[in-house]
Structure 1
């Protein structure tokens, strides 16, 4: 596909077939950092998506007051209690524990259900700047990075940012105004990805994945996916694919494809109107099966 001057679309990356003698360590460890009082479900969705996305191990670091709730969502991931502020959000004092846990993981996802505070803004900025491991940021993780001058801190390692148009506007300032033509915003996203040294997932239809040089336009997905928690699922999926060995651009590219394909499969059986975020996770197994068929046939399908 050629999206108005951005060149030919890239083929899907190949996720290697698993060897018969594989063990869980071979498929990586994902750390999800998120959740807060009233938004614990976001961390749970991201954790479960990382599991369904194929990560060997998933750990969810979340404020101690909501730990039991997050743990109750799924028995297959483990949890890490973090010091909380008086509003049930992760405290800045949890920074060292977050970094300790991150160093034991292969990929880290930061943002689902974080909430907003001055302390969180400082914590996210420090993790972004100091952590050398690959990191995907979404939701309040992105909001914590936003500055009035449109500048981001220098990343300490590989970074994937996943803004919807409103979050992108907060990151770049007035130039990202959603009233501008979409082609101009795509071009700006490409420029900012290069400037910031990140992979940028500019959500929409189609979703653009770019590192400033490469561009991929994803055509899977449907309006039923415009529901709370959908982005948390994508965040966990990106981290899972990265933990299995895909480089950041490829992990983001394949994740948006599978995420949208799961949404299309869910909509076909459940309807767009009735879809919720957890349905995307439920249909990920079928999405992976369809993806393998696409690889064997040598042609991408948008369902």
Structure 2
């Protein structure tokens, strides 16, 4: 049975922030993103992660790109990709946006899969790497999250001829691998193999570069704050779409930028908190 996400179901999942909390109560997220030609992906993911409430955000980037990140997102910390990687202090990790598909990215992904034991979001370029290294899928930390769009999904799991076929495969693969799969698109589909959800927010203004990077940042923030992975996926997808719908108050679907959507995450949080019964 598939559940359509609505404000009522989201309100039941959303946990209100305690008034006496501090940054240590809201988790430390690591985003492994960006490369010399794709630093925008890292910046977008970091801004979205911070706007979604992660207590601390560290971004793993090439050292030569540090000025771009420091300038665009002064609230984020930096981990340099060229140095020894330390992952044990993070509550949640994401890897993929703008990271590239070269040998160095492949080796980094392989090392992360072998070492990490916290929920991880796999997106963008690393999905392409995984499609070429199918045996790695079974080694991913359980209940981690894959976020493919249609083309990435077909690279991972074979050519499909309809949305229904992809959804059936998503359920089967989520069950087999004990992962959560977010099949992005119109009415984004989310499954952990046992449960199936269809999103009801969002619009075609999200059909632009950067939207997936923001979604990755949003979901990772929820993971870092201690949400169960399936709930982090649900909340992330719904909130991402809701912020895009709110953006239509001031932009059109043609003119909307993902940075506009990130700016409206605050209004989206207020919307899902409205009339909440604790």
Number of the residue aligned with 1:116: 101
Residue of 255, 264, 269 corresponding to 1:274: 255
Do the aligned partners of 1:36 and 1:113 also contact (CA within 8 Å) in 2?
yes
- Bigger mean CA offset, 261-270 vs 249-258: 261-270
If the length of structure 2 is used for normalisation, what is the TM-score?
0.93
3-state DSSP of counterpart to 1:270: coil
3-state DSSP of counterpart to 1:103: coil
Q: CA deviation at 1:57?
A: 0.6
Aligned mates of 1:8, 1:275 — CA distance in 2: 29
- Bigger mean CA offset, 155-164 vs 221-230: 155-164
Do the aligned partners of 1:150 and 1:171 also contact (CA within 8 Å) in 2?
no
Q: CA deviation at 1:33?
A: 0.7
Aligned mates of 1:184, 1:103 — CA distance in 2: 38
Number of the residue aligned with 2:212: 231
Q: CA deviation at 1:114?
A: 0.3
Number of the residue aligned with 1:30: 29
Number of the residue aligned with 1:264: 245
Q: Deviations over 1:98-122 (max 9, x none)?
A: 3x1x211101111111011123123
Number of the residue aligned with 1:125: 110
Change (3 A) 1:151 1:66: closer
Aligned mates of 1:290, 1:105 — CA distance in 2: 29
Q: Deviations over 1:52-97 (max 9, x none)?
A: 00001111110111111122111111112221xxxxxxxxxx5xx3
Greater relative contact order (CA < 8 Å, ≥ 6 in sequence) = 2
- Give the ranges of 4+ consecutive aligned residues of structure 1 lying more than 4 Å apart after TM superposition: 148-151
Aligned mates of 2:184, 2:218 — CA distance in 1: 15
Aligned mates of 2:40, 2:275 — CA distance in 1: 33
Number of the residue aligned with 2:63: 64
Do the aligned partners of 1:128 and 1:153 also contact (CA within 8 Å) in 2?
no
Q: CA deviation at 1:48?
A: 0.9
Q: CA deviation at 1:126?
A: 2.8
If the length of structure 1 is used for normalisation, what is the TM-score?
0.86
Aligned mates of 2:110, 2:61 — CA distance in 1: 18
Aligned CA RMSD, in angstroms, stands at: 1.8
Counterpart mapping for 1:77-92 below 5 A: 77-83=76-82
Do the aligned partners of 1:125 and 1:153 also contact (CA within 8 Å) in 2?
no
Q: CA deviation at 1:157?
A: 4.2
3-state DSSP of counterpart to 1:268: coil
Number of the residue aligned with 1:244: 225
Residue of 146, 149, 156 corresponding to 1:164: 149
Number of the residue aligned with 1:301: none
